[in-house]
Copies of this chain bind each other. A is one copy, B any other.
Amino acid sequence: VTPLLNNPFNPMKILREFDYGTLKQENGVKIREFNVTANSSLLQLNSGVSFVSWNLNNRVPGPTFRVKEGERVRIIFHNEDGHSHSLHFHGIHPAEMDGIKPIRHGKKMVYEFTAEPYGVHLYHCHIAPVTRHISKGLYGMFIVDPPQPRPPADEMVMVMAGYDINNNQHNELYAFNGLPNYYRDHPISIYQNQLIRLYILNMIEFDPVSTFHIHGNMFNVYRTGRDTTPHEETDVITMGTGERHILEFSYPYPGKYMFHPHQDTLAELGCMGMFKVIPS
């Protein structure tokens, strides 16, 4: 079993943690304000491999920012890391808020825009070489909820990542939510017949695509979360880097079920997890 070792974060906590920021009122305008800090920290990827990550709020992936469509959003970005970084958000926003300008060590940048459109988006550092700044850990999910909320569900977030340990532009390890094999060794408890809403993002650099598969079940796909009715139902989905979707499913039978990319190389190098379905 993978212990947490000395890692600064717990994938089980990341799984269902949403950062709604702080709601402020300024001159009659409501603003949802977030604070995020870039820094470096050592990850212990397994008992034998450590990795200097560049990360946000001391976790990989960074915080899952969550807002409602149409809300004014303010992200206060502090760069405490030795390298220059930025936060580039997906979604619609003015060019000045696009996050492609380097913010130097010790500097602050305030990104502010109206959250649109609803869907599952992402953010990441956009400083060259982007492959390196992303694969070191500077990314996270950005969920914009629709005006009419989605039905109640057990909601969770999974970000697929690759680790280029030896800096040769190939990944030696992979993970869901930061730590290789964590959910294989600590299965995710869910309830039988409970609707699961999985926000999933592929942030693996160097590999052209990842797939995602769940055992013993099918899922409905809401592509980029840009709809409230599903596009298709399957159990294997192919995702390029930067692609993200909502997958919905519920398990009719109790027991343990694997999930992993159907590229078994990635699965065998750490991108492997388990659901433990508890009878309800």
Per-residue interface assignment for chain A, residues 226 to 259, with 1 indicating a CB less than 8 Å from any chain B CB and 0 otherwise: 1100011111111111110000000011111110
Task: Check A268 against B130 for contact (C-beta < 8 Å).
Answer: yes
Chain B residues lying within 8 Å of A233, measured Cβ to Cβ, are 117, 119, 224, 226
Per-residue interface assignment for chain A, residues 126 to 139, with 1 indicating a CB less than 8 Å from any chain B CB and 0 otherwise: 00111100100000
A195 at the interface (CB under 8 A from B): no
Between-chain CB contacts (< 8 Å), 22 pairs: A91-B235, A92-B218, A93-B253, A94-B216, A94-B253, A95-B253, A98-B255, A130-B268, A131-B268, A205-B263, A207-B208, A208-B263, A209-B240, A211-B241, A224-B233, A224-B234, A226-B232, A227-B232, A236-B240, A236-B242, A238-B238, A242-B262
4 more contacts with CB within 8 A, not counting A90-B236, A211-B241, are: A94-B216, A94-B255, A134-B264, A242-B262
Task: Check B206 against A256 for contact (C-beta < 8 Å).
Answer: no
Instruction: Give, as a whole number of angstroms, the nearest-CB distance from A278 to chain B.
Output: 12
A22 at the interface (CB under 8 A from B): no
Per-residue interface assignment for chain A, residues 176 to 207, with 1 indicating a CB less than 8 Å from any chain B CB and 0 otherwise: 00000000000000000000000000000111
Q: Which of A81-96 contact B (CB under 8 A)?
A: 88, 90-96
- In angstroms, Cα B257 to Cα A92, docked, is 11
Q: Give the B-binding residues of A (Cβ under 8 A).
A: 88, 90-98, 100, 117, 119, 128-131, 134, 169, 205-209, 211, 213, 215-218, 223-224, 226-227, 231-243, 252-258, 262-265, 267-268, 277
Name A211's contact: one of B88, B223, B243, B265 (CB within 8 Å): B243
Q: When A92-B216, A93-B216, A96-B255 are in contact, do A243 and B236 touch as well, CB less than 8 Å?
A: yes
Chain B residues lying within 8 Å of A263, measured Cβ to Cβ, are 205, 208, 240-241
Name A264's contact: one of B129, B215, B231, B237 (CB within 8 Å): B129
Nearest residue (CB) in B for A254 is B95
- In angstroms, Cα B209 to Cα A104, docked, is 34
Instruction: Give, as a whole number of angstroms, the nearest-CB distance from A87 to chain B.
Output: 13
Instruction: Give, as a whole number of angstroms, the nearest-CB distance from A102 to chain B.
Output: 15
Instruction: Give, as a whole number of angstroms, the nearest-CB distance from A77 to chain B.
Output: 17
- In angstroms, Cα B216 to Cα A107, docked, is 23
Chain B residues lying within 8 Å of A119, measured Cβ to Cβ, are 218, 233
Q: When A100-B258, A236-B242, A240-B238 are in contact, do A265 and B117 touch as well, CB less than 8 Å?
A: no
Task: Check B98 against A216 for contact (C-beta < 8 Å).
Answer: yes
